[in-house]
């Protein structure tokens, strides 16, 4: 289903080639100041921007349809629409199963009635609704002193630094169009251009930090903080893995309890841990340290190199060359989607 | 909260040192044949078994309290209780925050009223209820031709093979007490004993396969198959990462769209992919290939080496030596918990 | 929150004096044929129509924004917008608590940030979204042979017949603008005009029938069919009571088990009951007989007679004369809202 | 499904003739003082007590299995079991559809695998779990100054007074075994004995008051306070109608907006209404006045008079004389079930 959350519920709708994509965010507390600039700025971060990204123009002339009155949230559901413009539906036809795309599974699940143009409801375009409403959730969190930022940790052989001085780095990342901590923007762009020039694509690892979250958020067992964040992040197309703190690094051959346990200590009145290998979460619950997680994004499946696949309408094997306007890498654009989805999830949990 | 699922709802309850742990599984279809042997055999797999595991005896004299009549499920909720025996509560006192354990966050969340004995409701002991009801879910799946198995993929420097001949390997794993595919049991036990002898602990990566799942299960966006499985698996204590198919391997420097995309082809009438790098899932929905995922388990936080920490009742830093009976590694015992949790999740989605 | 349903989820949004009201219906199966006429016709039934109803013009130029492609549902969420036109916001000011209206409680719940114009998100105007998406749900049910109709059973001292020949009567009601079974339209209009002429308002009882519903829908305890319908119907403004079958008539002094029990019999292969005092539901589950329920609608609280009340901004008692354009009775217009809400609820349960 | 609630989740399980009935209440805040006496006293109110009620002995030797430690709730799920004793299963056989009972619908829904003994999971016996956990919820509410009481408003031709001095009357009702406000106990017992002596049964109307509830609880549309209470109350077997405040009285021929609207006024700083015809709820949200609702209970369907019905195993019409031990009226016993279910619902909403 296209909804998530208990106290703050996000619903998305729309298709890549329909009139709009949009989202409803319900459960937002009354009185949060909302400006068009805030949402526009957030949306601009997921828009194709440079030579490495899709040529589809997405001006994102969004409109707030409900839930905001006199510049503040009212407590009623907030619906934001983003019209689809610059559509070229002729690039698509039903039956061609692009490898590692959802065309085939959409056809099975929706029994042949799916809107197949540009991925339909599966299109990354729908994430514009998540970003627009995520800006609202993030504002509500920032009013509470909680901040969230995401950067490209790894792309090809290029690796960014881990978070160290988290609040400063989050602030830096949110001010940049190309979210990296160290000075590696051009190296990453080189990696992407290299993939693009060979008609190929590339993925990467994104790292997200949440600062200012108090201890005690989450629950043992099924409403663990890790589970809530993971469920939300796997909603984003292209995500194939998530790890908290050291994550898979906990399984390195030299990782032992004595080397990876986070020892508690008092910093004045405040409880902290000397290391933060658990990414701020013990037993499914925040411990007051920043929450840190990494997300694995697979290479964009749309590539221009010829591929073998099937036409499930004709029922035959084919060779396929994908046309249309596509990104050789979505890792930059997806950072703000992850930040938005994280903001909505954390807001749901603390509301 | 201690419930999960939409169509099949699992609720767990109980504390490590209370009279019982237990679970209610609601929404199971009527008519599934259930035997005590099936549940007992499943429970035996999570019981401490050998020199590398906790000395706590857990005979697991479970009792089915409802929902089964004349050896078959009735459609009403199934409650299974497992009495706690062989309890030594004196090993525990309130205030000591074992590093990387939930003692401190439990204290914050439950405002000082937590049952702190042996981790209380956070204890891995509660997973016995998951395993007992998971046996019911797995039986319902097997009646539909869906099979699930989990093995230790990596422990320390020892690595098992990936799944290849999945149905055969699942069947093999479910017949073994020590779930590995290749002949590496003694090497893993050596790794664990090495950790134990130095008063330490070790983690590992577990790999799970689901075979026989039809195409079309899951949804785009928030009810993705990856998200549903991830939420369920992160409920299990010690889990810090999950990846589907190649997972973080999609971000290796040599991974490109052209090398990792799974190309579709017709095998007779049947649609398959030549590789299964996506772990059987496209766009959040099963594509008919086996589902494969890996889970990262951190080293057991309870170690006998001295550690620095705090006493949050006294409000002071302390040096701590953990007593009680603990496992230097839980990776073997946790395999059946992951299989059970996966079975309950998949059953919820196809019910 | 502004969402309802498990398998089919309805979300409403919008304010009386915002740009639109709208709804998202998620979970609708793919392939249902949808026409604009079907939705327009349904919307026209809740529009003010005659001298007894509000002078606010509601042309309801709705637009389907998603989820329908080539005239059929796709399986993706369906968003329908209905622009607000003919708005006169100057009729409203914050602080005046209209008696038996939501102004005061909205102020408390939304901490002063509520959109108070015309009731904001509480306005009956929002039900246009329910009606538009309800037309889709009803079409999905009718494709399965399930039909739903609602008529005015009582208004003032005028009483309509109970349902007798249900399928015929449902068909008749859905073809009429003024939904009554017997020839009492002018008598009811007289009652309403009488109230209107004295600056007053009037309520009434509505009766709804669902035919063609198979036995076995619903559940014991918390997902009873009565509970699901009641929760949905109480969402509609003005509803203050609901009863199934005989309802409160079960408590008449001459009602005994022997006189009100519905005796089963075989009509060929088919199980029926001789009477249908239980309104088609036993133990929370449909028994194959038509479902019948009555809804009590209170008199419209907006009346033009002077009333005593408070101004909660000024903090003082006031005398109030309500201006604006209001209905002396909403019982005719609310019939289609109840039918729509019932359709969405039943569709959720059988999907 | 057998669960209800969002923040506080109740799950029931068990069958009339299984080893236990029970309930899990999850989400209760930590630190609520719980005594066995409190639960025992609550359970005693639903136990058969006098000549007018079932001869089945239900000693209700309940046991708290989890979630309470050192006499206080811990925040973890609370499981309470009540063993079934004094069972006579031989009174039941599969196939006989007792009129207005759930035997037939259970058979359809559970495909022949239902536990048919004594109504199985549909049995009113399961409500003992609701009452036991409801005592916990009520304690949590009382600690907040919220009180709940239920009395028999009408039975046959005998009618009790409406609530007037609510806090005093709630306190009185909760101290009595036979919950009526005025001195009509013997008249009601006469009505019941009259029904019993003719092998028949009788229903009645129950009235419930909630005092001390602050303004602002509930929501417009789908999470209305009326809808939440109605869904919960319809979970109880025998309930066929519910109305808030005047309820169906709003549709009397002399009820007009001007006569039934509740006018607001300031009582010092406090906002009140002169009348409480809306039963404390406007727009789905509490307005600070006491919440009042009435519930219609149908005559117990089990009567000893011969009835016509079917045997759905044999597939034939039959004449049936119900044996076993049954109540000619359950209205007294059901009062505490309604109070418990209301407490759990309100606690869920304010938690």
Which chains would you list as touching D if contact means 3+ CB atom pairs under 8 Å?
A, B, C
In a domain, D257, yes or no: no
Model confidence at B50: pLDDT above 80: no
Model confidence at C292: pLDDT above 80: yes
State how far residue C171 is from chain A, nearest Cα, in angstroms: 30
**pLDDT class of B93 with cuts at 50, 70, 90:** confident
Residue of C2, C227, C282 lying closest to D105 (CB–CB): C282
**pLDDT class of D284 with cuts at 50, 70, 90:** very high
| A-chain residue closest to B111, CA distance | A216
Model confidence at C54: pLDDT above 80: no
As a three-state string, the secondary structure of chain B is CCEECCCCEEEEEECCCCCEEEEEEECCCCCCECCHHHHHHHHHHHCCCCCCCCCCCCCCCCEECCCEECCEECCCCEEEEEECCCCCHHHCCCCECCCCCCHHHHHHHCCCCCCCHHHHHHCHHHHHHHHHHHHHHHHHHHCCCCEEEEEEEEECCEECCCCCCHHHHHHHHHHCCCCCCCCCHHHHHHHHHHHHHCCCCCCEEEEEEEECCCCCCECCHHHCHHHHHHHHHCCCCCEEEEEECCHHHHHCCCCCHHHHCCCEEEECCEEEECCCCCCCEECCEECCCCEEEEEEECCCCCCCCCEEEEECCCCEEEEECCCCCCCCCCHHHHHHHHHHHHHHHHHHHHC
ipTM over 0.90: yes
**pLDDT class of A322 with cuts at 50, 70, 90:** confident
Residue of D2, D12, D240 lying closest to C244 (CB–CB): D240
| A-chain residue closest to C72, CA distance | A113
Q: What is the DSSP-derived secondary structure letter of residue A290? A: P
- Tally the residues of chain B: 351
**pLDDT class of C315 with cuts at 50, 70, 90:** very high
In a domain, D137, yes or no: yes
- So what's the pLDDT on residue B86? 73
- So what's the pLDDT on residue C51? 67
- So what's the pLDDT on residue A92? 76
In a domain, A71, yes or no: yes
In a domain, C265, yes or no: no
* Cβ contact, residue pair A75, C30, below 8 Å: no
- So what's the pLDDT on residue B54? 67
Averaged pLDDT of chain D: 95
B237 vs A contacts (CB less than 8 Å)? 283
- Which of A154, A166, A142, A124 is closest to A333 using CA atoms? A124
Quote the tokens at residue A76.
Answer: 């009623």
CA distance D308 to C279: 19
Span A315-332, average pLDDT: 89
Share of chain A above pLDDT 70, in %: 96
* Cβ contact, residue pair A14, C63, below 8 Å: no
- So what's the pLDDT on residue C57? 66
CA distance C82 to C135: 14
pTM for this structure? 0.97
- So what's the pLDDT on residue D48? 85
Model confidence at B85: pLDDT above 90: no
Cα torsion at A189, A192, A197, A199 (round to 10°)?
A: -160
D307 vs C contacts (CB less than 8 Å)? 258, 261, 263
Instruction: Give C159's strand partners.
Output: C154
Interface test with A, best of B283, B297, B311 (most A CBs within 10 A): B283
Residue of A198, A203, A258 lying closest to B250 (CB–CB): A203
- Which of D93, C198, B234 is closest to A282 using CA atoms? B234
Which chains would you list as touching C if contact means 3+ CB atom pairs under 8 Å?
A, B, D
Span A290-296, average pLDDT: 98
State how far residue B207 is from chain A, nearest Cα, in angstroms: 13
CA distance B247 to B292: 10
Averaged pLDDT of chain C: 95
A26 vs C contacts (CB less than 8 Å)? 1-3, 11, 13
Model confidence at A128: pLDDT above 90: yes
- Which of D128, D169, D119, D161 is closest to D45 using CA atoms? D128
In a domain, C261, yes or no: no
Residue B48 structural domain: 3-245+280-350
Please give the tally of structural domains in chain A.
1
List residues of chain B with CB under 8 Å from any CB of chain D: 1-3, 9, 11-15, 18-22, 24, 26-27, 30-31, 63, 65-67, 69, 72-79, 81, 109-115, 120-121
Contact pairs from chain C to chain D, CB under 8 Å: 351
Contact pairs from chain B to chain C, CB under 8 Å: 3
**pLDDT digit string (tens) for D230-242?**
999 999 999 999 9
Span D309-338, average pLDDT: 93
**pLDDT digit string (tens) for B273-300?**
999 999 999 999 999 999 999 999 999 9
- So what's the pLDDT on residue B322? 84
Averaged pLDDT of chain A: 95
- So what's the pLDDT on residue D58? 64
**pLDDT class of B42 with cuts at 50, 70, 90:** very high
Model confidence at C58: pLDDT above 80: no
The residue to which tokens 């449909």 are assigned: C286
- Which of A74, A81, A80 is closest to A32 using CA atoms? A74
Interface test with D, best of C2, C103, C207, C222 (most D CBs within 10 A): C222
- So what's the pLDDT on residue B57? 66
State how far residue D91 is from chain A, nearest Cα, in angstroms: 42
**pLDDT class of D322 with cuts at 50, 70, 90:** confident
D57 three-class SS:
coil
- So what's the pLDDT on residue B239? 98
- So what's the pLDDT on residue A51? 67
- So what's the pLDDT on residue B55? 61
**pLDDT digit string (tens) for A6-60?**
999 999 999 999 999 999 999 999 999 999 999 999 999 998 876 677 666 667 8
Model confidence at D252: pLDDT above 80: yes
In a domain, C95, yes or no: yes
In a domain, D116, yes or no: yes
A3 vs C contacts (CB less than 8 Å)? 3, 9, 11, 26
* Cβ contact, residue pair D24, B11, below 8 Å: yes
Interface test with A, best of B251, B296, B327 (most A CBs within 10 A): B251
- So what's the pLDDT on residue C341? 98
**pLDDT digit string (tens) for C109-144?**
999 999 999 999 999 999 999 999 999 999 999 999
C-beta of residue C69 within 8 angstroms of C-beta of residue A113: yes
Model confidence at B31: pLDDT above 90: yes
* Cβ contact, residue pair C309, D265, below 8 Å: yes
CA distance B38 to B61: 13
- So what's the pLDDT on residue A55? 62
Which chains would you list as touching A if contact means 3+ CB atom pairs under 8 Å?
B, C, D
- So what's the pLDDT on residue D109? 97
C81 vs A contacts (CB less than 8 Å)? 65
State how far residue B6 is from chain C, nearest Cα, in angstroms: 8
* Cβ contact, residue pair B26, D9, below 8 Å: no
CA distance D45 to A349: 39
In a domain, D258, yes or no: no
Span C142-161, average pLDDT: 98
C-beta of residue C195 within 8 angstroms of C-beta of residue C202: yes
**pLDDT digit string (tens) for C17-44?**
999 999 999 999 999 999 999 999 999 9
- Assign residue D236 the CATH number of its domain: 3.60.150.10
CA distance C257 to D156: 12
Model confidence at A310: pLDDT above 90: yes
Which chains would you list as touching B if contact means 3+ CB atom pairs under 8 Å?
A, C, D
C-beta of residue D119 within 8 angstroms of C-beta of residue D102: yes
D260 three-class SS:
helix
C323 three-class SS:
coil
- So what's the pLDDT on residue C93? 83
* Cβ contact, residue pair C30, A69, below 8 Å: no
* Cβ contact, residue pair C13, A3, below 8 Å: no
Model confidence at A112: pLDDT above 70: yes
State how far residue C158 is from chain B, nearest Cα, in angstroms: 45
Residue of D74, D78, D81 lying closest to B110 (CB–CB): D74
Contact pairs from chain A to chain B, CB under 8 Å: 353
- So what's the pLDDT on residue A144? 98
- Which of B79, B106, A222 is closest to D80 using CA atoms? B79
By mean pLDDT, which of A205-214, B53-62, D296-305 is the weakest?
Answer: B53-62
Residue of C9, C15, C76 lying closest to A15 (CB–CB): C76
**pLDDT digit string (tens) for D72-102?**
999 999 999 999 987 776 667 899 999 999 9
CA distance A94 to A70: 45
| Residue C55 burial (C-beta neighbours within 10 Å; 0-12, 13-18, 19+) | exposed
- So what's the pLDDT on residue B62? 97
């Amino acid at each position: 289903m296209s909804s998530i959350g208990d106290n703050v519920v996000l619903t998305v709708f729309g298709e890549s080639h329909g009139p709009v994509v949009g989202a409803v965010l319900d459960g937002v507390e009354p009185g949060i100041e909302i400006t068009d600039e805030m949402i526009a700025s957030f949306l601009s971060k997921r828009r194709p921007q440079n030579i490495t990204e899709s040529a589809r123009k997405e001006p994102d002339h969004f409109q707030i349809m409900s839930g905001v009155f006199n510049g503040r949230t009212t407590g009623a559901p907030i619906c934001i629409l983003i019209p689809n413009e610059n559509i070229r539906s002729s690039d698509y036809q039903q039956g061609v199963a692009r490898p590692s795309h959802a065309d085939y599974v959409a056809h099975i699940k929706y029994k042949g009635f799916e809107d197949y143009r540009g991925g339909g409801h599966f299109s990354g375009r729908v994430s514009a609704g998540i970003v627009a409403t995520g800006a609202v959730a993030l504002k509500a969190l920032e009013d509470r002193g909680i901040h969230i930022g995401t950067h490209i940790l790894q792309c090809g052989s290029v690796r960014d630094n881990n978070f160290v001085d988290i609040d400063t780095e989050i602030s830096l990342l949110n001010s940049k169009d190309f979210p990296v901590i160290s000075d590696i923007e051009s190296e990453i762009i080189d990696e992407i251009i290299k993939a693009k020039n060979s008609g190929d694509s590339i993925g990467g690892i994104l790292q997200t930090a949440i600062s200012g979250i108090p201890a005690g958020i989450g629950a043992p067992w099924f409403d663990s903080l890790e589970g809530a964040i993971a469920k939300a992040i796997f909603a984003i197309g292209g995500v194939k893995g998530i790890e908290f703190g050291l994550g898979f690094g906990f399984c390195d051959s030299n990782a032992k309890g004595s080397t990876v346990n986070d020892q508690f200590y008092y910093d004045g009145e405040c409880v902290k841990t000397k290391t933060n290998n658990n990414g701020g979460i013990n037993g499914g619950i925040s411990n007051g340290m920043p929450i840190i997680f990494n997300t694995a994004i697979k290479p964009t499946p749309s590539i221009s190199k010829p591929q073998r696949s099937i036409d499930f309408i004709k029922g035959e094997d084919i060779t396929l060359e994908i046309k249309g306007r596509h990104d050789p890498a979505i890792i930059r654009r997806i950072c703000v989607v992850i930040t938005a989805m994280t903001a909505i999830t954390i807001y749901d949990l603390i509301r």
